[in-house]
Structure 1
Amino acid sequence: MAPIHKVALVQTHPKPVSPAENFEKAASFIRDAAAKGCHLAVLPEYHLTSWVPDDPAFKDSCSDSATYIKKYQDLAKELSICIVPGTIVESEAESLQNIAYFISFDGTIAGRYQKKNLWHPERHHLVSSAHEPHQAFDTPLGRVGLLICWDIAFPEAFRELVTDGAEIICVPTFWTMKDVSDDSYNLNPDGEALFLNSTVVTRAFENTCAVVFVNAGGPPEKGNDTNFAGVSQVTVPHIGPMGRLGRAEGMSIVDLDMDVLRIAEGSYKVREDMKREGWHYAYTQMREDNSKL
């Protein structure tokens, strides 16, 4: 019988350039999740610093990244819970990198991913992982992949992870309702929530995988009256979104039944087709006879 993983979606509202305060809040949510029997807690992108790259203090607020990674490792080991601590911005020479980690329940780092598909304003501040392949990795929850925010717009990223055996794909995100032009926003003020809800569900169906999508939320006292998009959720094929939050800060706990993925693959046979020698979409594979593609 396939396992059921209890997953905590920790949709925090990050205070700009306040990593110590933001960590304490995240740790409080994670302790609560562990007390409720969760196997995995996932946080949003930029959860320690928020995304304020033009703030003079932003770069300095990223300087203690290694300290916070160690804090999350210690927390995971103490509570015996796996943690994806959103993303942590790291400095390398003069460059900034946006990194997601998967920390196992014993405190070891099972996987690391540097954001590849940067949102347009990020390209002025961050370095992409460029041509590095998307790779899945083994965890106590099975084979997992990591993507970040705007990566969800690229089906190829999911395909590469699924080809490498990923069954669960965690996507820490920092996405607001006004990350688009005024013209786009005026067409539909709820358009970005529509984008997220539609795309996350689609990626789950078309890859017979579970997508653990965790976005930043707005201040809890404002409820849904915020520009933060929120809508953190776990999506699986056949069922769709589970435990979906609104736009405000909060936590949702989802029972992820891995048997659903087995049933979906039995129906759609997506992974089976991708393993076939004659599969057409082989951009990640080198073939000697390209005439067969």
Structure 2
Amino acid sequence: MAPSYKIALAQLHPKPLSPAKNFEKATSFIRDAAAEGCHLVVLPEYHLTSWAPDEPGFKASCADSFTYIQRYQDLAKELSICIIPGTIIVSEGESLQNNAYFISGNGEIVAQYQKKNLWHPERHHLVSSTHEPHKAFDSPLGRMGLLVCWDLAFPEAFRELVADGAQIICVPSFWTMRDVSDEGYALNPDGEALFLNSTVITRAFENTCAIVFVNAGGPPEKGEETNFAGLSQVGVPHIGSLGRLGPAEGMSIVNLDMNVLRIAEENYKGSFI
């Protein structure tokens, strides 16, 4: 019998340049997920600082990155829960890296991934992992992979991870409805939502794997009136979307039955060629 995992999608609304406040909110979500018996909680990209690279204090707000990573390790160990703390911006000399981590329930960092495919405004501020191969890793939830946001648009990234044995691929994101030109937005104001919902499910079907997509959400007090896309969800073949959220901040808990992936592989026979 294939295992089932309980995964919390923590769709936070990060306040710009406020890592302490954002960490406090993230901690609350993680504690709630642990109380619900979740095996894994996933946070969005840029969840500590938001994405505000042109603000004068942006780089300074990233200075304590390693301290926060350690605090997440301590929290994972305390609660015996695996944590993907979205992404955390790390300073390497004059450069900034956008890194995702998988922290096991014993507090150990078992995987790290530096975002490869940068959205074009990011290229002025961040360093890409360029030609580094995508590698899967062993976790308490089985063989997994990490990607970040715009990586979602590159099917070859998923194929590389699946070829390395990944059955669950987690994609922390910071994706808004206005990440396009005015001309593109005018074609369809819901175009980015269409992109996300379509692509998450497509990646799940074409790779017979589970896609855990966790995006930033809008301010809870504004409800649906926000430019944040949200739409955090788990995509699986045969079924489609599990636990999909709207655009506002919130948390969804999904039961991921790995038996679904076995059935999909038996039907489609595409993951391990």
> What secondary structure, in the 3-state scheme, does the structure 1 residue paired with 2:224 have?
coil
Q: What is the 5 A alignment of 1:240-251?
A: 240-251=240-251
Moved over 6 A (4+): none
The one-letter code of the counterpart of 1:212 is V
- 1:9 and 1:224 map into 2 onto residues whose CA distance is 18
- 1:224 and 1:242 map into 2 onto residues whose CA distance is 20
Determine if the alignment matches structure 1 residue 135 to structure 2 residue 153: no
> What secondary structure, in the 3-state scheme, does the structure 1 residue paired with 2:205 have?
helix
What residue number does 1:12 align with?
12
* TM-superposed deviation, 1:179: 0.4
What residue number does 1:284 align with?
none
> What secondary structure, in the 3-state scheme, does the structure 1 residue paired with 2:267 have?
helix
Determine if the alignment matches structure 1 residue 153 to structure 2 residue 153: yes
Deviations 1:44-91 (A, max 9, x none): 000000000000100000010100000000000000000000000000
What residue number does 1:230 align with?
230
Deviations 1:164-216 (A, max 9, x none): 00000000000000000001100000000000000000000000000000000
> What secondary structure, in the 3-state scheme, does the structure 2 residue paired with 1:83 have?
strand
- 2:271 and 2:89 map into 1 onto residues whose CA distance is 34
> What secondary structure, in the 3-state scheme, does the structure 2 residue paired with 1:46 have?
coil
The one-letter code of the counterpart of 1:157 is A
* TM-superposed deviation, 1:224: 1.0
Identity of aligned residues (%): 78
> What secondary structure, in the 3-state scheme, does the structure 1 residue paired with 2:96 have?
strand
What residue number does 2:168 align with?
168
Deviations 1:209-233 (A, max 9, x none): 0000000000001111000000000
What residue number does 1:109 align with?
109
Deviations 1:100-156 (A, max 9, x none): 000000000111000000000000000000000000000000001000000000000
What residue number does 2:191 align with?
191
> What secondary structure, in the 3-state scheme, does the structure 2 residue paired with 1:270 have?
coil
- 2:164 and 2:110 map into 1 onto residues whose CA distance is 15
* TM-superposed deviation, 1:271: 2.0
- 2:244 and 2:224 map into 1 onto residues whose CA distance is 13
Q: What is the 5 A alignment of 1:1-293?
A: 1-272=1-272, 274=273
- 2:205 and 2:223 map into 1 onto residues whose CA distance is 30
- 1:246 and 1:131 map into 2 onto residues whose CA distance is 35
Deviations 1:259-281 (A, max 9, x none): 10000000000024x2xxxxxxx
RMSD: 0.4
So what's the TM-score if we normalise by structure 2?
A: 1.00
- 1:76 and 1:6 map into 2 onto residues whose CA distance is 15
Q: Please identify the structure whose Cα radius of gyration is greater.
A: 1
The one-letter code of the counterpart of 2:115 is K
- 1:19 and 1:3 map into 2 onto residues whose CA distance is 36
What residue number does 1:289 align with?
none
Gaps of 5+ in 1: 275-293
How many pairs align?
Answer: 273
Gaps of 5+ in 2: none
- 1:182 and 1:135 map into 2 onto residues whose CA distance is 37
> What secondary structure, in the 3-state scheme, does the structure 2 residue paired with 1:9 have?
strand
- 1:207 and 1:224 map into 2 onto residues whose CA distance is 32
- 2:140 and 2:63 map into 1 onto residues whose CA distance is 30
